Structure 1
Amino acid sequence: MNKKFMGFAAIAATLALGMSACGTGAADATLENGDKKDVSIAVFNGWDEGIAASELWKVILDKKGYDVTLQSADVAPVFSGLSTGDYDLTLDTWLPVTHKTLLEKYGKDISELGQWNDEASLTIAVNKDAPIDSLDELAANADKFGNKLIGIEPGAGLTEVTTDEVIPGYGLDKMEYITSSTPAMLSELKTATSKGENIAVTLWRPHWAYDAFDIKDLKDPKGTLGEAEGLYGYSRLDFDADYPALNGWLENFKMDSETLYSLENAMFNGVDTKDYTPIIEKWISENQEYVDSLTA
């Protein structure tokens, strides 16, 4: 091989190496604000408040040039994935009770972004004009509710608390506790409130049902449903180094329950689609000042 050919070969190899490096760099592209362009948000399956917040941030960030991927998973795998860096962040951690065990297991390997809502709670809700205001009145008035308490999925934490704490705590064992699914419960709630009938359901805050229906929570003087919790964001370690701007936005992120109810109601109430972008864009146009403040 002559020297001239060897020179061309070296140049070709260098160019190939450069193109390879460019390909790798594209995956780690950065924006003008110093953040990496690609970001993955883990979303708990079936947790509407987390879906709503995540979809909102996806639309906001996409418009700022980020490439956002939402990845749905069950709760435990999300925390595991954050600890190994498979996800960048999640927005639906309930503390101090619901996800306490998972934080004890993975807390040292993930980072807290901060609390964005402080009104998360488990509830027993009734129609707003129901003749009672407290759980300690329900047993004596069970017949006014058809002797039924409408629940959600049998394996849900709310179902467990209702079975183990609420029912024995307030002597509701003579009521029929019906569990099936969250959509079935919401369907029953919609039907009853539209007909002006009394109904008692297991529910939680924040949830769009509070924006969609005229309902109220029954007081829980014995504390069987536990105290109010906060909703927190958590990220993988070193997230702040890779996303200095986004990390700051999420640390300052706040959304009160009324705002969240409004967003959830727009996304989930009577909507048969998983493409939430047009819905969220319309919602943003109606809440522009609030949305602009999130990245001010």
Structure 2
Amino acid sequence: MRVHSRPLAIAATTATLGLLLGACSSGGSDAAAETTPGGDQKNLTIGVHNGWDEGIAASYLWQAILADEGYEVDLETADPGIVYTGIAGGDYDVNFDMWLPITHADYLEKYGDDLEQLGSWYDDARLTIAVNEDSPLKTIADLQAQGDVVGNKLVGIESGAGLTRITKDEVIPTYGLDDIDFVESSTPAMLAELSGAIDDGRDVAVTLWRPHWAYDAFPIRDLEDPEGALGGAESIEMVGRTDFGADYPQLTAWLAKFTLDDEQLFALENLMFNENGGKDNEGSAAQWLTDNPEFVTDLKAAAEKA
């Protein structure tokens, strides 16, 4: 976890007023009187879910965008429960990775009265089984009759992962895949198997999820799930602390128009976590913005038209 102290900037015309302002809090520290040209508070803390790549990518992207706009942005990383507790308590200002309607529904139910929902930026978050793009397999059901194509093997990730549980408890019995060797391994091992198969020109089947940088790095596609055993798509939403909209009116308008499609998000994640190995997230976000020069311009234009 990287914890940053937030700068304090309080303007007051008298000592008494200064004390009064100092007693008010916003985003976990004293309210900042300094604002941006758009009327937003200048200081912003983003709560980031530890290990959730898409949220990390979106957070660093917005840190880069807002830094160019004169904001001072801190990123603080913690487990989701701590992040949502922090936002509800005003310690963090915003989070970019609330999965709804299922994954983070309990947090929304628990803290919803102290949160502001700011909209969805990605609407196809889902669990998948992926194969090489030129695989003859089309649906998960094909693994039963044509499992020999992939050596009768489905490569999974960590045994404790929700994806692994759903694959064992829902996918395998629904599609009659008892003769398929479901290998529980790890995410790095699964990705290594996928990469090796692609390099060797072998057919492969792995458990995966969207969004993930593998969709940009490798020529792969999802098997159709006609029985819905993996569940439906979820949206990834943004959530702010109480009074976020009032304290950040300009940013709220921008966020309302913020979206990333598969191509954009997978490319950002691939650059950040694969090509740069997660070692230079700020540089990766800046590079992606350089490679996509119209992104911020188009976003601002859309917000102005709203």
Distance in 1 between the 2:159 and 2:255 partners? 34
Match of 1:71?
Answer: 76
Q: Secondary structure at the match of 2:229?
A: coil
Q: Does 1:182 align with 2:187?
A: yes
The residue type paired with residue 295 of structure 1 is K
Q: Does 1:134 align with 2:139?
A: yes
The residue number in structure 2 matching 1:29 is: 34
Which of the residues 191, 202, 207 maps onto 2:212?
207
Query: Structure 1 residues 178 and 280 mapped into 2: Cα distance closer, same or farther (>3 Å)?
Result: same
Residue 165 of structure 1 is matched in structure 2 by 170
Are the aligned partners of 2:128 and 2:207 in contact in 1 as well (CA < 8 Å)?
A: yes
Structure 1 Cα separation of the partners of residues 275 and 218 of structure 2: 13
Structure 2 regions of 5+ residues with no counterpart?
Answer: 1-12, 23-29, 302-306
Percent identity among equivalent residues?
Answer: 52
Secondary structure of residue in 2 paired with 1:113? strand
Q: Aligned-pair distance for 1:207? A: 1.4
Look up the match of 1:89: 94
1:234 aligned to 236, 239, 242, which one?
Answer: 239
Cα distance in 2 for partners of 1:49, 1:248 equals 21
Q: Residues 163 and 28 of structure 1: is their aligned pair in 2 closer, same or farther, counting only changes over 3 Å?
A: farther
Closer, same or farther in 2 for the Cα pair 1:184/1:270, shift >3 Å?
Answer: farther
Task: Give 1:141's aligned amino acid.
Answer: Q
Match of 2:124 in 1: 119
Secondary structure, aligned partner of 2:74: strand
- Separation in 1 of the partners of 2:278 and 2:268? 15
Q: How far did 1:27 drift?
A: 4.9
Number of equivalenced pairs: 282
- Distance in 2, matches of 1:26 and 1:131, equals 59
Does the CA contact (< 8 Å) of 2:159 and 2:185 recur in 1? yes
SS at match of 1:272: coil
Measure, in 1, the Cα distance between the counterparts of 2:90 and 2:160.
Answer: 29
* Greater radius of gyration (CA): 1
Aligned match for 2:67, one of 55, 58, 62: 62
Please say if residues 37 and 66 of structure 1, whose CA atoms lie closer than 8 Å, have aligned partners that are also in contact: yes
Alignment-derived partner of residue 101 in structure 1? 106
Please state how far the C-alpha of 1:295 moved relative to its aligned partner.
Answer: 3.3
Aligned residue among 262, 287, 293 for 1:288: 293
Structure 1 Cα separation of the partners of residues 233 and 203 of structure 2 = 26
Alpha-carbon distance, 1:33 to partner: 2.0
Aligned twin of 2:153: 148
Aligned to 1:41: 46
Instruction: Judging by fraction of residues, say which structure has more helix.
Output: 1
The superposition leaves residues 105-125 of structure 1 with CA deviations (integer Å, 9 ceiling, x where unpaired) of 222221110011111111100
Question: Residue 3 of structure 1 corresponds to which residue in structure 2?
Answer: none
Q: Which residue type is aligned with residue 103 of structure 2?
A: T
Deviation at 1:16, TM superposition (A): 11
Q: Distance in 2 between matches of 1:77 and 1:168?
A: 36
Contact in 1 for aligned 2:276/2:284 (Cα 8 Å): no
User: Comparing 178-187 with 249-258, which one deviates more in the overlay?
Assistant: 178-187
Q: List alignment gaps of at least 5 residues for structure 1.
A: 1-14
**1:51 CA drift (Å):** 1.0
Residues 26 and 94 of structure 1, relative CA distance in 2, 3 Å threshold: closer
Query: CA offset at residue 157 of structure 1?
Result: 1.8
Residue type matched to 1:80 in 2?
A: T
Report the AA paired with residue 183 of structure 1.
P
Over 3 Å counting, the alpha-carbon distance change for 1:73 and 1:33 in structure 2 is: same
Question: Are 1:153 and 1:181, in contact at CA under 8 Å, matched by a contact in 2?
Answer: yes
Q: CA RMSD in A?
A: 2.3
**Counterpart code for 2:258:** F
- Which residue identity lines up with residue 273 of structure 2 in the other structure? F
* Structure 2 partner of 1:271: 276
Structure 1 consecutive aligned stretches of length 4 or more whose deviation exceeds 6 Å: none
TM-score under structure 1 length normalisation: 0.88
- Contact 2:130/2:221 (8 A) holds in 1: yes
For residue 235 of structure 1, report the CA deviation from its aligned partner.
Answer: 0.8
